[in-house]
Structure 1
């Protein structure tokens, strides 16, 4: 008997199919570089064959690729070439390729295809993938495609689309593996073996009562290692994490992370099982949400290089206009101290330093706060403790920077100027630390996404306070007149 973990490399190699693609086999070959990205020369060869109208050559070049690589290749070719490229590799355009495509690219390709063709693709997808394929299309296009679906599939897709975007209802797969609680382990094994219409991906079996309410879960390894005569109620785990169908997908991801879930049951308002969410869906959500928050902090919208120019423009320009408005506040403060600046050039030389360092300090704190809010580390229960913590960090940072800039300014413009800029630096960095926490918290309390607008207001506060503290202290110290 072979102990677990004792299988040798030779035994594994002997059992592996000859045509199995191992990760190391696809590194630094004629198509991939060492980072497993498609080589520029390979992409160029495909595009040249496409321009020459040689569909056979295009097909031969693409045929060995994994579906994820084909999706990458579709995104790498020009937008005006994608329809021709898809036509050249028609039977390679599997549902796996479609599922791997960038959202914007997939939407454009779906709009270019006939409803019957999109419906044929949709029929092969799990419910959650089918919804992802259709949700970004226009209502008219959606209905045209749904009309071509089988009644059962159409009902499932319509039901999922009825839930709000980015909720568990949109994310879930409606085909959850559920069995009644009176079964034995043997009954369950026989059912799994004899039923050919099971959902493809499941890691545990949900046990339900007569009202279809989940009462427990059975991991597949428990089922496989338990005697056939044992009742499911004796081996199932009664303590389980249930996901409300209206829960935001970001909260779902946090629950998977917190409780180390592989899959979870989704229930409706009455507590009935309506679907399941698996960890492979959550991996995508975590990646999307993390990237989305980073881009929202910069006001860059989706930040997707495949996003249409008009959408990219509209999502970015509104925050630049808002930033322009907040910049007027800082400019007004400078104008108020205009006479002082005219009399002492050193003020004009040094005040950008105060504002810049304060802005960077505020951005650091804001990034920490937004992440803490997103991961439920910063809540109503610990808000003031976190504010006090970040204030102490800001004061320490301000004191350190103040000593350095104070000595440099003192050597160049005299000791009084050194003291003034040092005090201004401490004040501005302390205020920046407070703003970096309080502004995101304020937006979160108002029910707004703290990542969206925080940066504009934090920048306004740090710039305005930096100019006001530095110029005000300079006037108070008698280094320059107010008017």
Structure 2
């Protein structure tokens, strides 16, 4: 993982008149109408970002204008002022044609930091514009985890050429990282690590770090204390080390450490980091030997990726859909779930078909029954979302499943009762039929209770079977609420009204 430069600090932005006069200003103004030529290189950095650190749309327009004019020097000016993370964000906002114009003007010294931040498809475009020797040089500047992630996106023949252009030690690090399964700690870890034997003193450790600086991670938080077999026995925070006397033995400073095995799933790693508030953790192989480390900035990316995946899955779309996803990929992502939904929808149709005689006798039933199913579906989605989040955070387990289920059922009864009374009141106002009001109130309570059951039990069952609860559950929760909504409403109507 490359050392991250400081986030640019924003200052006040000049207004139009001040830009022309090149005089200081007191407050930020809207620069929408400012001519690009009036914004100097010194002012670009402040202009590029809004108050929330998102890219200013007017800045993106300046980049597009410069690309349209073929003004490479202006593009270099506009890019030089940005933090590498903002350049990666900018490329995501541009179309493929404009990226082709902009990529050659990205500062070469920023490429090593930018590549790991890019979406996969955009990263491929950047790499395609680079020579093999340049790619090899960039990979050597990256820590092993980021280098492996970038290398994996290369074509097979390009991978061979890049490996041939790299020193043996760097080549071995990448090959070893790619030997681990995807989405495991072994693939996530960086091999560079600061380790020291327990009998060393603080002075020994500091001197070693100064002498071996090029072989150490560019950014690390802990020093891992190891035994003669290279197994970690403790860790010392760098801040603790720097505050201690030089003759202090490391074994007297170290604290217990939480070890991560190379085959541990990255989601489990993120859970451990979150639960124990870790900044970094050592990674060990099957024999317990120290082989690398994982740091918190990688975990932040994993947590965001997992959350994004769950949110998309709840909507029935896949994680591949991004700003530049083509239509074919979008169709392939969404169509399968909709086809499954089409099949489950016929189950609800069978209920309506079974009660068509009752509907013919009392047409108002056809008007009201979709309301019961629809509002029950909304409550089911609420219960489902809570359950998926709880499962993801390990807050819903066999130990508290019954208590959680009971709470959801009770909430379904209470909320269903409140909503049912509201619907009953509406029915009395418009149809003046208290029996119909009783039917819709009762059906609503029943459907809300079943929605609570389905929204909780279905994701729990999916998780138990090793399926993704976020992806598999929404279709079946919808089936439960539609089926139960129609059946409870039409069934009660048949008993009470007809």
* TM-score in terms of structure 2 length: 0.88
Q: Which residue of 2 aligns with 1:277?
A: 294
Matched, 1:25 2:43: no
Report Cα offsets for 1:174-196 as digits up to 9, x if no partner: 11111112211121121112222
What is the deviation of 1:52? 2.1
Matched, 1:308 2:326: yes
Match of 1:98 among 103, 115, 132: 115
| Secondary structure of the structure 1 residue equivalent to 2:234 | strand
Matched, 1:242 2:228: no
Contact kept? 2:116, 2:146, Cα under 8 Å: yes
Contact kept? 1:410, 1:416, Cα under 8 Å: no
Q: Which residue of 2 aligns with 1:441?
A: 460
Match of 1:69 among 77, 86, 91: 86
| Secondary structure of the structure 1 residue equivalent to 2:333 | helix
Distance 1:334 1:137 in 2: 55
Aligned residue pair count:
460
Contact kept? 1:26, 1:36, Cα under 8 Å: no
Which of 138-147 and 157-166 deviates more?
Answer: 138-147
Q: Which residue of 2 aligns with 1:170?
A: 187
Matched, 1:397 2:383: no
Contact kept? 1:26, 1:32, Cα under 8 Å: no
RMSD: 2.0
| Secondary structure of the structure 2 residue equivalent to 1:347 | helix
Distance 2:468 2:106 in 1: 42
Cα 1:207/1:295, change in 2 over 3 Å: same
Q: Which residue of 2 aligns with 1:457?
A: 476
Matched, 1:477 2:496: yes
Q: Which residue of 2 aligns with 1:383?
A: 401
What is the deviation of 1:288? 1.4
Q: Which residue of 2 aligns with 1:371?
A: 389
Distance 1:390 1:460 in 2: 18
Contact kept? 1:242, 1:264, Cα under 8 Å: yes
Distance 2:12 2:97 in 1: 29
Report Cα offsets for 1:259-305 as digits up to 9, x if no partner: 11111011111111111011111111111111111111111212422
Contact kept? 2:7, 2:83, Cα under 8 Å: no
What is the deviation of 1:170? 1.2
Cα 1:137/1:472, change in 2 over 3 Å: farther
Which of 56-65 and 453-462 deviates more?
Answer: 56-65
| Structure 2: tracts of 5 or more residues without a match | 1-5, 14-27, 29-45
Report Cα offsets for 1:301-359 as digits up to 9, x if no partner: 12422333322221111111111111111112112212222221211111111001110
Cα 1:108/1:323, change in 2 over 3 Å: farther
| Structure 1: tracts of 5 or more residues without a match | 1-19
Cα 1:441/1:162, change in 2 over 3 Å: same
Report Cα offsets for 1:151-199 as digits up to 9, x if no partner: 2122111111121111111111111111112211121121112222221
Q: Which residue of 2 aligns with 1:292?
A: 309
Q: Which residue of 2 aligns with 1:5?
A: none
Match of 1:346 among 343, 351, 364: 364
What is the deviation of 1:217? 0.6
Aligned ranges 1:181-330 → 2 under 5 Å = 181-197=198-214, 198-237=216-255, 239-302=256-319, 303-330=321-348
